[in-house]
Structure 1
Amino acid sequence: MKLDRNFYNRDTLVVAKELLGKILVHKINGKLLSGMIVETEAYLGVNDKAAHAYGGRRTKRVETMYGPPGRAYVYIIYGMYNCLNTITREEGVPQGVLIRGIEPIEGLDYMALNRFNKPLEELTKNQIKNLTNGPGKLCQAMMIDRSLDKEDLCGERLYIEKGIDRNFDIVEAKRIGIDYAEEARDFLYRFYIEGNPNVSKFK
């Protein structure tokens, strides 16, 4: 069952936690790529010094964040890596959740080719471990790029499914790569499934 817009139009911290265990799906070129979300980070907009929209910043890059809930916000970091976010809250409130890690489910052969230009059976244990355990890695593996910015996550191309109910413990931790964000760098806005090997960083 695909998540509907009401799922995203809620408190961002709640959405970030409840996205864990859900299934990210990308249909492209007749292929189905999917993975279970195992790690997320919440960004709380104008009052969050780590957020792109902090202080009400509204540039062409961040305009998607001000749009309706249930849209994809895809941006590039370090000039080369794509990152996927889901927009939360009502239109005009620029908050969202970064998808940091997934556990691959379908399309692993394509993911291996996308990441390492090798078939899955030729990957080393380390390469398999690093297939989708980071925001840039999972976007490369799942062929998610800037062309999907503003994509409706309630549509048919890129979306998130409810998946199977699973029992797991959620760890709350500091976000990664935001040392510039003063006190916001200490907020426990990163969430991950305890013990899952596809998490980018434990604690």
Structure 2
Amino acid sequence: MPGPPLPSELLPRKFFDRPAEVVAPELLGHVLVHGDVAVRLTEVEAYAGTSDPASHAYRGLTPRTAVMFGPPGHAYVYFTYGMHFCVNLVCAEEGTASAVLLRAGQVVAGHETARRRRARSTERDMARGPARLCMTLDIGRDQNGLDVCSPEGSLRILAGEPADPALIRSGPRTGVNGGKQTPWRFWIEGDPTVSPYRAHVPRKRKRTEA
């Protein structure tokens, strides 16, 4: 059965024209749409650009991070571990490279399409984690740089029902080394789609024989 209708209004660009750590908790409850699939956001992480050692933009402007240095309200999509895409929403004024990583959410529209893409997943796990979220929404390299505040855009962020502030929790970001104690991971307490926290584990170097 179809769920409730999707929100009709987009989040305005001015919503994103603020520091990522301010935008991030306020994104919880809003809805990301790509094609016929929509996901209500339940977990996010903030990154502060060149002042944040955990950010891709910490060392400055590169071809990979150029979108992060652009205007707010655009998608920054990156490829990680040679197999997964993750999507961020660019925040703050142009030139700051501030962004919010979308870590998890609940599918609220396009369930049949989502099930075809994630056939082996339970309803809870469809978009539980940043890579799964991108797979469920079919977000990849072609979506890098898209304007999520444009009504004509294929990737859009809709103004859903904001999460209850009493249920929003924060803690260290998942799997980062630099800035690992910064409490900029935000999630909705008790929501089953929130991904498990994992601390950074340094990679072990292979021993070579003398």
Counterpart residue type for residue 73 of structure 1: Y
Q: Is 1:43 the counterpart of 2:41 in the alignment? A: no
Q: Deviations over 1:87-123 (max 9, x none)?
A: 000111111000000111001111111123xxxxxx5
Counterpart residue type for residue 41 of structure 1: E
CA root-mean-square deviation: 1.5
Partner of 1:163: 160
TM value normalised by structure 2: 0.85
Contact 1:47 1:55 in 2 (8 A): no
Partner of 1:128: 123
Q: Is 1:151 the counterpart of 2:155 in the alignment? A: no
CA distance in 1: counterparts of 2:183 and 2:162, whole angstroms? 25
User: Which of 1 and 2 has greater Rg?
Assistant: 2
Partner of 1:60: 63
SS in 1 for 2:180: helix
Q: Deviations over 1:159-179 (max 9, x none)?
A: 111113553510101111113
- Report the alpha carbon displacement of residue 202 of structure 1 after superposing the two structures with TM: 5.4
CA distance in 2: counterparts of 1:107 and 1:18, whole angstroms? 24
Could you tell which deviates more after superposition, 142-151 or 106-115?
Answer: 106-115
Q: 1:178 aligns with which of 151, 176, 179?
A: 176
Unmatched tracts of structure 2, length 5 or more = 1-8, 199-210
Q: Deviations over 1:5-52 (max 9, x none)?
A: 10100121110010001011112xxxx110110000000011111000
Runs of 4+ aligned structure 1 residues displaced above 3 Å come to none
Counterpart residue type for residue 51 of structure 2: N
CA distance in 1: counterparts of 2:78 and 2:157, whole angstroms? 19
SS in 2 for 1:128: coil
Structure whose residues are more often helix by fraction: 1
Unmatched tracts of structure 1, length 5 or more = 117-122
SS in 1 for 2:21: helix
Partner of 2:37: 33
SS in 2 for 1:136: helix
CA distance in 2: counterparts of 1:148 and 1:165, whole angstroms? 25
- Report the alpha carbon displacement of residue 55 of structure 1 after superposing the two structures with TM: 3.3
Q: 1:5 aligns with which of 7, 13, 23?
A: 13
- Report the alpha carbon displacement of residue 157 of structure 1 after superposing the two structures with TM: 1.0
Counterpart residue type for residue 38 of structure 1: T
